[in-house]
Every structure is written in C-alpha cells, then in structure tokens.
Amino acid sequence: GAVVSQHPSWVICKSGTSVKIECRSLDFQATTMFWYRQFPKQSLMLMATSNEGSKATYEQGVEKDKFLINHASLTLSTLTVTSAHPEDSSFYICSARDLPSGRTQYFGPGTRLLVL
Amino acid sequence: GESVGLHLPTLSVQEGDNSIINCAYSNSASDYFIWYKQESGKGPQFIIDIRSNMDKRQGQRVTVLLNKTVKHLSLQIAATQPGDSAVYFCAENGGSNYKLTFGKGTLLTVNP
C-alpha cells in the first residue's frame, strides 16, 4: 500500500520550454501532496504543499509563477516548470500523505530534469 | 529556522555488522519522526517512524531510538547487508501543517 508514482522518470528539454511532471497516489487518496527538489549529494528541499481543490502553498524563495502546481483530484498533482533554464535542472520528488490526519509521507521515485 | 542535522555524513561497515545512524534535532516542538532510505537515483523509502510519546520502536532489522531530553534520534540496523547501502535521512514534524524537515543525510556503505 501507499504507492506513489511519478511521470516521467526523466526528461531532457531545451531552455525556454515548459515541462510537466505528474505525481499520482496509486492505492490511496491524498488530500495533500508535497513537491521537493534535490540537488546531488544534498537533502530534500520542500518547494510547495499541494492541496486538493485549493491553491498550493509555496515555501519562501520558490517562485509560484515559475513552478505551477495543480492538484485537480485526490490522486493527482502536477508540477509544471515554466520557461525552464539550465539552473532548473534537478531531481524533483513528490510525496503524499495517506490519510487526512496521517503524518507519514510516501515518496514517488523522482523525476530527473535536464535543461539544455 | 530550526533544523534537523546528522552527526556523521558517512558510515562504512562490514557486512553482518550492526549499523547506527544518528540524528540531532533542534525543534523541541517536534513530536513525530521518520527515517527514510534513499538509494541512488530513487525517491526516499519509508523505513520506520516514531512519535514523541515513545522512546523506542522496532521493525524488521531496524530499531529507532528517541531521546527527547537531548533531542537525539538514532536508527539501528541489525546484521547490515549490502542492500542496505544508501543515504539515510531523518525527518521531523512538529506542527499541524504536516511538513517534514529533513536532515542532511548519512551515506551508509556496506563492505562485503
């Protein structure tokens, strides 16, 4: 149980294009999902909290117009990196809580983004 | 802001030995803690969690110890195997927003 998937697993794009990453909870409903960014040999940095049916809450320093988040259903949240630049290249990971009051986050496998 | 940190960035053990990974946290309001295992190129995998009303919790080959007095958390892995080689992160939560604060991570290397 508590399986989270991400798609795509890796993507290469040209500078200036937009990239959409999907995060799905496969066997449970997730009212809250989280998006993280991770650089090599570093810890996870929370970017935003995605709430089903409402606007995402972004962490300080994260541009909401740059990283668009949509949580349209209880099993799907999407992160769109708009007008991507090489400095946006990173490992993006989502997580989901399995219960409305649950505190455990289960993570997806991550998406490797390379912007040329 | 408050943070969760680790004493040892790397740990190398022999196969079959027991491993102990440590974590210090500074937020005294934290009342829920999780250990995650992250293999190269993959997302973090839940290992075990513990609430602040407990000081020890055991799983399969793993034990988490919590010392609230000194704000210290540890993960013990019994009979460490090569497949245990990964980066281990502690994470803590102390509020109603369900956010997790992650430590820096410890790279565990198991030598055959």
Alpha helices in chain B (DSSP H): none
Give the pLDDT of residue B5. 52
Say what percent of chain A tops pLDDT 90. 77
For A10-37, give the secondary structure using H, E and C: EEEECCCCCEEEEEEECCCCCCEEEEEE
For B16-31, the pLDDT digits (tens) are: 999 999 999 988 899 9
A94, two tokens:
């989502």
Q: Report the residue from B36, B89, B98 with minimal CB separation from A97.
A: B98
Contacts of A106 in chain B (CB under 8 A): 46
- The encoded tokens of residue A18 equal 């937009």
Name residue A31's amino acid: T
Q: Are B90 and B76 in contact (CB under 8 A)?
A: no
All residues at 6 or more sequence positions from B8 whose CB lies less than 8 Å from its CB, including other chains: B21, B22, B106
**CA-based Rg of chain B, rounded to a whole angstrom?**
13
Peptide bond into A40 cis (omega under 30): no
pLDDT band, residue A1 (cuts 50/70/90): low
Predicted confidence at residue B4, as pLDDT, reads: 60
Largest separation between any pair of C-alpha atoms in chain B: 44
- Which residues of chain B are modeled with pLDDT < 70? 1-8, 96
Nearest to B25 by CA among B98, B106, B107, B101: B101
Q: How many CB atoms lie within 10 A of CB B57?
A: 15
- Pair B50, B64: CB distance under 8 Å: yes
Length of chain A, in residues: 116
For B10, name the nearest residue in chain A, comparing CA atoms only: A41
CB-nearest partner of B105 from A32, A43, A93? A43
Residues in chain A within 8 Å Cβ distance of B42: 109-110
**Gap from B53 CA to chain A (nearest CA, Å):** 15
- The pair phi, psi for residue B68, each rounded to 5°, is -70, -25
> Which among B44, B93, B104 has the least Cβ separation from residue A107?
B44
Q: Does A109 touch chain B (CB under 8 A)?
A: yes
Chain B residues closer than 8 Å to A103 by CB? 32, 49, 93, 98
Find the angle CA(A89)-CA(A92)-CA(A95) to the nearest 5 degrees: 170
- Edge-first strand listing for the sheet containing B19-25: B4-5, B19-25, B72-77, B62-67, B56-58
**pLDDT score recorded for residue B98:** 84
